[in-house]
Homo-oligomer: A and B are copies of this chain.
Amino acid sequence: MNHRIAILGASGYTGAELIRLVATHPRFSIVALSGERKAGMSISSVFPHLRHLPAPPIYRIDEVDFSEVDLCFCALPHKTSQQIVAHLPKSVRVVDLSADFRLRNADEYQKWYGVPHSAAALQETAVYGLTEFYRDQISTASLVAGTGCNSAAAQFALRPLLAAKAINFNEIIIDLKCGVSGAGRALQEHLLHSELSEGYFPYAVGGTHRHLGELDQEFSQVAGEPITVQFTPHLLPVNRGVLATAYVRGDARTIHEVLSTAYAEEPFLSVLPFGEMPSTHHVRGSNFVHIGVAGDRVSGRSIVVAVLDNLVKGSSGQALQNANVMLGESETEGLLAAPLFP
């Protein structure tokens, strides 16, 4: 029997990606789509590129019959998501794509998001959705919290190095470049084509980006001691793609070896030959991650670069990967399509 899937927030980019990916899954059936602003519209009106798919129309959330749903993807805005998820029937398993359940600690949530969490008990039960590192817990979880796209890239570059103590914990700098679609479909002046194209700039400089909450939580847990990294994102005039350039102190060959070993069996994670560097071109539209390692001319310092597609491996593809794990499907089902280049 097919798994019955609902997608809440289907009119945003991550919602559209979920529909695109889930539609290719042989044992998943989309039974409900919701989107407040576009309720009543067909998916072919909201996303004409999906017009060939047999998707249900878009409803308001309160019109969805959750008794017919096995698993629900929540692609809702931060703060909204926690309110919706808290009121779903217990029988519905949830993969949440917002930031609402990534942090295990309620105080940390308030620190980074500026408001108290309205479903703190639920927050504690959520499993962090970086599949490759939380598979067992995800398989039995009721609620999985999708990671930030930027923090996913940084973690793929660095988690095994922290676990293996292959790098100095006090000098980690992550210079991050990200594409536009990560900011979603909201109407903001700085996201207009005229404002963005043909230029680029840093933002949230100095350690204020909210994805740092996740990095602090995860890196500290892996390292066994508090880790505080530097992290500077830059917005690029490209729709998809996150590239994290990590500057670390550690031996480059050792780093390459640690990462290669850690990811040897991972279907989506490729560590490139030593010294080769990845490009966001080569993962665009796919669930793959490419990682490059090189030594610097400054002795003892190394560079690790990871790339992924923020809408796939950074959110909707990761979400489907987690759903596969939760529902006992092959983890790669629906996720092996090659990147689109050029």
Contact = CB atoms under 8 A, between A and B. Distances in A.
Interface of A: 13, 16, 20, 23-24, 47-53, 171, 173, 175, 177, 180-181, 185, 187-189, 191-203, 205-208, 212, 228-230, 232, 234, 236-241, 243, 245, 247, 270, 275, 277-286, 288, 290, 292, 294-298, 301, 303, 305, 307, 336-342
B245 A207 contact: no
A208 B23 contact: no
A188 B185 CA distance: 10
A237 B238 contact: yes
Contacts of A241: 198-200
Contacts of A20: 338, 340
Contacts of A181: 194, 342
A270 B49 CA distance: 11
A226 B185 CA distance: 45
B237 A341 contact: no
A303 B239 contact: no
20 contacts: A16-B341, A20-B338, A23-B338, A49-B283, A49-B284, A180-B192, A180-B193, A181-B194, A181-B342, A185-B194, A193-B193, A197-B197, A198-B342, A201-B243, A201-B281, A205-B275, A206-B275, A206-B296, A212-B297, A337-B337
B175 A185 contact: no
A280 B240 contact: no
A282 B216 CA distance: 34
Contacts of A295: 206
Contacts of A290: 48, 51
Of the candidates A199, A207, A298, A301, the one having the most CB atoms from chain B within 10 angstroms of its own CB is A199
Given A48-B278, A185-B194, A207-B297, 13 more contacts: A24-B336, A49-B338, A51-B282, A185-B192, A191-B192, A193-B196, A198-B239, A199-B238, A207-B298, A208-B297, A229-B298, A247-B247, A340-B340
A206 B340 contact: no
A199 B198 CA distance: 12
B177 A234 contact: yes
Contacts of A48: 278-279, 281-282, 290
B199 A24 contact: no
A196 B340 CA distance: 13
